[in-house]
Amino acid sequence: MNLSAPGKALIVDDEKTNRLVLKSLLSRQGYSTIEATDGQEAVDLFRREAPDIIFMDVMMPVLDGYEATRQIKQIAGKRFVPVIFLTAMTDEEALAQCIDAGGDDFLVKPYDKLILQSKIRSMQRIAALNHEVQGMYSMIHREQEIAESVFVNAIQSSNIDNPHLRQTVRPAGIFSGDMVLSAYSPSRDLFFLCGDFTGHGLLAALGAMPVSEVFRAMTAKGFSPEEILVGINKKLKAMLPVGMFFGAQLVVLNHDLEHVRVFNAGMPDVLVVEGGSNRIKHRLTSTGLPLGVDASIDPREMLQYAPISYDDRILLHSDGLTEARNSEDEEFGYQRLSESIALAPAGRIFDRVISDLDRFCGDQVTQADDVTLVEIACVHDVLPALEPQDYFRLPAQQAGDRGEWKLSLRFNGARLRETNPVPILVTYLLEMEALEAQRQSLFTVMTELYVNALDHGVLGLDSKLKTRSDGFNAYFQAREQRLADLDSGYVIFNLSVEQQEERRSIVLRIEDSGRGFDHDRQPPPTRGDDALSGRGILLTRDLCDSLEYHGKGNIAIARFSWSTE
């Protein structure tokens, strides 16, 4: 509607006399007028002429005023075009029909000049307010779009881009309370975090930034999933308002594709689906409270292990998927999800679930909650290649003799349960020797040697446990139990950095309190061996110049070198 001066008025009435009277009154108010004799003609004129105000009779041939108004309001969309009904009826039911059809006011015949003038001014004020609100809405919408773009770039742009990782996040509004984060640890394990904040929209999305920062920083430094969850929980507990929390599924895919570790805190089941048959092998249910609820959490109480085979699929989703509703208010539900998985073609579970969900929801324009679905293919190509150390050379300004140094650390009893020393030591080495490009190799070597010292030395675990039908579960359950009860034993790290002509070396000596093994008689593992143990030692030998065992087999000494040419 023209806000600064009268504009164009559309008069719709099948009585010529009524049109002439109203045209005369409107002309005195400064309006130009166009006329229609029935509802259909009014709709057609509205499309062509875009009038600023409409005076609509109720009873007309072809199309009555009620239906014509409904169509005009639909065509107008967000543009406010006032419709004033012209009626001789005064009963409340008839007037209510005018309002229900989309009318903004009514004018009773015969017309009164002063009443007409008052109603026009009223419509002008409403139009002005509507224009202001639309302007504010457009500005807010634009700002939200910009913020959403920044949000996506800051959080999701750093996710792993791999065709074997499929994911979708469908927000219920501009912002999503669901989030998906993925990253590789220095040990080449795949970390995948799927989370769901309470509610959705901007308020729910605000917590995503600190979660992303903690997840990426700690994963890159090689911290354990337990430590990452504690870090995220601490951050959220400090910043989230009461009543708001973060459901999370943290999945860690082992770089050997042997097993998956799952921490499920207040989210739907994580599914492990057998490749080829699409049989659901494992349902890993929630075993902990959502993050941000309790200041003190023990992620080890949430930890679940599941053995995996090549080409298995791991599925994660938010409750928005199973709770999605169709036009008949039915839920998609777990049964339909299971059927979609079972009926999917080989390697196409993600596509089948999304297709079935879209078909189920039909033409539903709005969704009640954010919808997230993730599929991880357990294939070698989903993991990063091991970077050969020969590719690395120190920059020229750092070449030459940079001095030798030593470091010794001892971790006793319960401290081994509370602290993972590997990220601390690797970070120290990187800072001292500027070896950022070698982070992955260093982390792999130190992790393999430390895990062997802790698991087989201090905890006395036997790798033969893994050969049983329930091997992985038995092994890791025993590990968690012994670790929880640990109050003695030790692991000692001795690091020496040496200069040898144009090469520098880190000599890593790890000693544990275990009973060791007869390293002189026990042959080292060989490549091509299908055993479920020893592959880490093979990898360590590949990355290092040498790996030797001393003492009673409880001392491992590895030499890791690089060129300074």
For the ranges 54-58, 84-88, 189-193, 302-306, the lowest mean pLDDT is seen at 84-88
pLDDT digits (tens, 9 = 90+) for 119-144: 888 888 888 888 888 878 777 777 66
DSSP state of 396: G
pLDDT at 389: 44
pLDDT at 121: 85
pLDDT at 174: 64
pLDDT at 289: 92
Q: CA nearest 433: which of 514, 508, 375?
A: 508
pLDDT confidence of 283, banded at 50, 70, 90?
A: very high
CA 242 vs CA 212, 246, 292, 312: distances in Å: 21, 12, 9, 40
| Residue 77, Cβ density class (10 Å: 0-12 exposed, 13-18 middle, ≥19 buried) | exposed
Q: Tell me the C-alpha distance between 422 and 114, whole Å.
A: 86
Q: CA nearest 245: which of 207, 297, 201?
A: 207
pLDDT at 342: 95
**Bigger pLDDT: 364 or 52?**
52
pLDDT at 395: 44
Average pLDDT value over all residues in the chain: 85
For strand 190-197 and strand 178-184, is the pairing parallel, antiparallel, or unpaired?
Answer: antiparallel
For strand 83-87 and strand 53-57, is the pairing parallel, antiparallel, or unpaired?
Answer: parallel
SS3 250: strand
- Joined together, the tokens standing for residue 172 give 């219920």
**Bigger pLDDT: 441 or 524?**
441
- Asked if residue 498 has pLDDT above 80, the reply is yes
Which residue is listed with tokens 């990782």? 165
Amino acid identity for residue 394 in this structure: L
pLDDT at 77: 86
**Bigger pLDDT: 500 or 164?**
164
Q: Please answer whether residues 437 and 392 qualify as being in contact, where contact means their C-beta atoms are separated by less than 8 angstroms.
A: yes
pLDDT at 397: 40
pLDDT at 194: 94
SS3 499: strand
Which residue is listed with tokens 């000599």? 507
pLDDT at 142: 74
DSSP state of 103: -
Mean pLDDT, residues 387-414 taken together: 64
DSSP 124-193: HHHHHHHHHHHHHHHHHHHHHHHHHHHHHHHHTTTS---TTEEEEEE-SSSS-SEEEEEEE-TTS-EEEE
Q: Tell me the C-alpha distance between 228 and 250, whole Å.
A: 10
Q: Tell me the C-alpha distance between 522 and 516, whole Å.
A: 12
For the ranges 153-157, 322-326, 396-400, the lowest mean pLDDT is seen at 396-400
CA 427 vs CA 221, 228, 406, 430: distances in Å: 7, 16, 15, 5
| Residue 174, Cβ density class (10 Å: 0-12 exposed, 13-18 middle, ≥19 buried) | middle
Q: Tell me the C-alpha distance between 418 and 375, whole Å.
A: 32
DSSP lists the bridge partners of residue 512 as 491
Q: Please answer whether residues 101 and 66 qualify as being in contact, where contact means their C-beta atoms are separated by less than 8 angstroms.
A: yes
SS3 357: helix
- Joined together, the tokens standing for residue 362 give 């039909």
- Asked if residue 388 has pLDDT above 60, the reply is no
pLDDT confidence of 249, banded at 50, 70, 90?
A: very high
User: In angstroms, what is the C-alpha Rg of the chain?
Assistant: 35
Q: What's the topology of domain 8-133?
A: Rossmann fold (3.40.50)
Amino acid identity for residue 303 in this structure: L
pLDDT at 232: 95
pLDDT digits (tens, 9 = 90+) for 10-50: 999 999 988 898 998 888 888 899 999 999 999 999 999 99
pLDDT confidence of 146, banded at 50, 70, 90?
A: low
Domain ranges in the chain are: 8-133, 156-382, 389-563
- Joined together, the tokens standing for residue 377 give 């293919």
Identify which of 94-98, 361-365, 427-431 has the greatest average pLDDT.
Answer: 427-431
- Asked if residue 396 has pLDDT above 50, the reply is no
CA distance from start to end of the chain = 77
Q: Tell me the C-alpha distance between 321 and 215, whole Å.
A: 24
- Asked if residue 493 has pLDDT above 70, the reply is yes
pLDDT at 394: 41
Cis status, amide bond into 110, omega within 30 of 0: yes
Give the Cα-Cα-Cα angle 333, 338, 341 (nearest 5 degrees): 130
pLDDT confidence of 398, banded at 50, 70, 90?
A: very low
pTM of the shown model: 0.68
**Bigger pLDDT: 171 or 339?**
339
345: how many CB neighbours lie within 10 A of its CB? 9
- Write down the CATH superfamily of domain 156-382: PPM-type phosphatase domain (3.60.40.10)
- Joined together, the tokens standing for residue 527 give 């490549």
**CATH hierarchy code of domain 389-563:** 3.30.565.10
